[in-house]
Amino acid sequence: MTWRWVIFFSLAAAAWCATVSGKVEVTDSKAAGNREKDDSGVVVWLEALAGAPPVTAGGQATMAHKNKTFVPHVIAVRTGSKVRFPNLDPFFHNAFSNYDGQVFDIGLHPPGSAREVTFRRPGVVRLFCNIHPTMSAIIMVLDTPYFAVTNAQGAYAITMVPPGDYRLKLFHERALAGVLTALERTITTGPDDLALPTISVSEAGYLVPPHTNKYGKDYPAIVVDQYPGPGRRQ
Ligand SMILES: [Cu+2]
């Protein structure tokens, strides 16, 4: 097959695919009174009801250390994808996860450097920094190419979805597992774009789980950043 036919079939396949879009509204948030309304960070994905997920090359994503936070706070990637962790702060950081999902540890991470981790195991990766106890983030590793993460307004758009029947699933770090399971639904896509009704995700009953450092111990009471020199206190 010539490259012209490859382009033709690729464009034809793209024409048959749809965008599935909608809005997620986070409700019952304990933090709602203290901050602007923020419906970001909810992962929405589609799993085909028939057949195996299509084989696609692993993607690339970035999660930076910046101002003592992981930016962005939530990302979703396909299994086999590489996530790059650049340290944009003038002091050391770390990223590790020893909970569910893929276990990893990028070690002591100097300012201006970047580390990469390939995520091969599907699941929720809850990651932390071994130096700064307030830092946390989520990497959702999915065995499907059809996913999106909501923006601050709760909007999502899953592109290039072939016609078929799918199970729509959600993940939100401050929602109980039973709440998320109850929100699952089956959808059918055709050649036209599909706009779904708003989905409300309740944070009721959620308690922030405490976490330890990577050694399973409590964090030190005072964090001493190790750059640009010893003794710098935050
Ligand atoms: Cu840190």
pLDDT in tens, the chain (234 residues): 555 654 444 545 566 899 999 999 999 987 656 567 899 999 999 999 998 888 877 799 999 999 999 999 999 999 999 999 999 999 999 999 987 778 999 999 899 999 999 999 999 999 999 999 999 999 999 999 999 999 999 999 999 999 999 999 999 999 999 999 999 999 999 999 999 999 999 999 888 877 888 888 888 877 767 655 443 444
Q: What pTM was computed for the model?
A: 0.87
pLDDT digits 0-9 by tens, 122-172:
999 999 999 999 999 999 999 999 999 999 999 999 999 999 999 999 999
Query: How close is the Cα of 186 to the center of ligand 1, in Å?
Result: 40
CB-count exposure of residue 99 (10 Å: 0-12, 13-18, 19+): middle
Cα dist. 159→46, 130, 154 in Å?
Answer: 11, 36, 16
β-pair partners for 20: 158, 194
Q: 172, 167, 201, 173: which is closest to 185 by C-alpha?
A: 167
Ligand 1: centre distance to CA 108 (Å): 9
How far is residue 77's CA from residue 231's CA, in Å, rounded to a whole number? 38
Q: Are 112 and 93 in contact (CB under 8 A)?
A: no
Q: What is the pLDDT of residue 219?
A: 87
Task: Give the Å distance between the CA of 194 and the centre of ligand 1.
Answer: 41
Residue that is written with structure tokens 């401050």 in the block:
174
Q: Residue 98's pLDDT is what? A: 86
Cα 182 to the center of its chain, rounded Å: 20
CATH code of the domain occupying 17-53+147-217: 2.60.40.4130
Through-space distance between the first and last CA atoms of the chain, rounded to whole angstroms:
61
List the shell of residues around ion ligand 1, using CB closer than 5 Å.
93, 129, 131-132, 135
Q: What's the topology of domain 54-143?
A: Immunoglobulin-like (2.60.40)
CA of 131 to the centre of ligand 1 (A): 5
What separation in Å is there between the alpha carbon of 136 and the centre of ligand 1? 9
pLDDT number for residue 227: 55
Question: What pLDDT score does 174 carry?
Answer: 94
Q: How far is the CA of 118 from the centre of ligand 1 (A)?
A: 20
Cα 212 to ligand 1 centre (Å) = 14
What pLDDT score was predicted for residue 177? 95
Beta bridge partners of 63: none
Tally helices (H) and strands (E) across the chain. 2, 20
* Distance from residue 132's CA to the centre of ligand 1 (Å): 4
pLDDT of the residue at 58: 79
Identical fold, 17-53+147-217 and 54-143: yes
Q: Where are the domains of the chain?
A: 17-53+147-217, 54-143
Locate 173 and state its tokens.
């770090």
Residue 12 DSSP SS3: helix
At 13 the pLDDT is 57
Q: What is the DSSP string of 109-174?
A: B-TT-EEEEEE-S-EEEEEE-SS-TT-EEEEEEESSS-EEE--TT-EEEEEEEPSEEEEEEEE-TT
Tell me how far the alpha carbon of residue 68 is from its chain's centroid. 18
Integer Cα distance of 60 and 118 in angstroms: 9
